[in-house]
Structure 1
Amino acid sequence: MHFNCDVTKNQEVPRAAGAEWFCFAKTGMAGLPLLLLRALRALHPPAPTISTAVRLPCPHRPLPSRASCCPVRFLRTSAAFCAGHNKWSKVKHIKGPKDEARGRMFMKFGMMIRIAVKEGGSNPDLNLNLAQLLEQCRSKNMPKASIEAAVKSAEKAKPASQHMFEARGPGGCVLLIEVLTDNNSRTGQEIKRLLNKNGGVLCDGGRHNFSRSGVVVLPGHDINSEKALELAIESGAADVQETEDEEEKPLLKFICDVADLHKVRVSLERQGLPVTSSGFEFVPRNYSSLDEEQLEAASALIEVLNDCPDVVRVWDNIQADS
């Protein structure tokens, strides 16, 4: 078997759909593509360990990147990329009182529960998507009474349709705007108005810039970059990203094919790792690089869209210039 390893340290490898290539970490074996690492591991398996707990790095090395729940950092060498997502994180964090942001987050969770119940019923034992969503609600400290009320409300809710609007924002960034509405025409007009007023425009083809993927989220404070890549190899994930939650706590996102979500999650849990949540997300295939002024404009646009009561989530492919 032959592998083409003619790749420089900072060179990016095209991430074709389904290809088993990872972005690069900082040093050593983590700088090799995952396909090669898997082959080497098969030829030279690691020595057995008594407990998976002793394999976790200790003391840990803090993750260098800080990013919001949407902007992320692939494990690679590019310093510009790391700094860019750090900057985007600081710009994108929800403005205003924390109580207001918390209330809006719970409202969005209620809308997502409504979608999940509509698609698969209200029994989480039979609806994996709902079960994962309820787990995510609990991880964000959404009150139990509010979760139960959201499920009951979803069962009795009036018929509504789910729709995805594709748009371009400041600096040419691509946005996917997921909505739940009982009036497509009204919501479409409102989305168009908000975009036009804040430097955006509806467009076609934006969906092709994203892939719908399975995502398993772990706390990231005890796992360094090389360990994260090792875990990704062992679990069968296709990518791993460093990010953070709304409270700026570090997280790791293990990205995989939709069909592999359960397998990746179980593999990580068997190693004693605390899974925060798992589910499906739209992951950018490529990123739009924005300068500081464009970042501010994009942040304002996304905030306005999120304030729209029919909007469930806004996905973006934004990367900040270093």
Structure 2
Amino acid sequence: MHFQGKSFLKEIDFTGSELHYLIDFAIHLKQLKKQHIPHPYLAGKNIALLFEKTSTRTRSAFTVAANDLGAHPEFLGKEDIQLGEKESVSDTAKVLGSMFDGIEFRGFDQQVVEQLAADSGVPVWNGLTDSWHPTQMIADFMTLKEQFGTLEGKTLAYVGDGRNNVANSLLVTGAMLGVSIQIGAPLALQPEKWVRELAEGYAEQTGATIFITEEVTEAVKGADALYTDVWISMGESIDVDERVKLLLPYQINADLLQKTGNPDTIVLHCLPAFHDKQTSKGKQLTDQFQVAALEITDEVFQGPKSKVFEQAGNRMHAIKAIMAVTLGNLFIPDTFFEQT
């Protein structure tokens, strides 16, 4: 069994062919949902949803996915449990593992989700840590495959903060799937050496190319997808003034989109996005720096090339696929992986 009983804590927990399978299975589950065909692979199961960080998409996606699969999700926020404060992560893991069939964790430290997996005895899924964002990746590359019909030979350009969890995950996942990744970021915000080396190792096997540069126009050349994320990660303590000034040249706007030289380029963003002044934080920052938007302009965000809301919706189908294959005792023939 390729998936049953396994945790998904970071992309490299699975092989490239297994990630391809998850993407295809997510697309299949999306079709089942669209056709109102029930798929209760987790009937009778109970899922713990642990959240140290707030969430819109991840919490909604895990909740709806669990319900669609016939499972019962139980939300446990940072005010609900004593994780790491009055009770150790290990003790919490053992308790939750004795009551729940699977655990989702969204928080800061990768070590916490690793510890939960080590000591709970049930599958654990990483809903986001400071290091990795694996469930997001299945949705992202699922969106790319839906748009182009294949991932083979595709190129994704990421611009902005190249050292965050999303950039790490895109670099490594792209390399594993054979999608070339081009990152445009200031020198101080480029991926760390160990992440680059990890990605390069996979790229050698798949034929993907890894390209990291300070030159934003070089980074976006030929891209099939242009991707960005917020410039200040949740809980990050930095000099906001310095960060925004450093990253303004990496904003996705109509001019940068045109510089891909590819008329079919799509635009992706894992959300939330500061594309206008409709949020208190967005208004504060855009007013402070006298700009209309931060990492992506409203024109592009709302434009015909933008697939950000399809991408957001795909979070649910991707998470459903991950939970189903690791907890649902599904029959997945070995021949599938021999052919991929």
More strand per residue:
1
TM-score (normalizing by structure 2): 0.27
Higher relative contact order (CA 8 A, sep 6+): 1
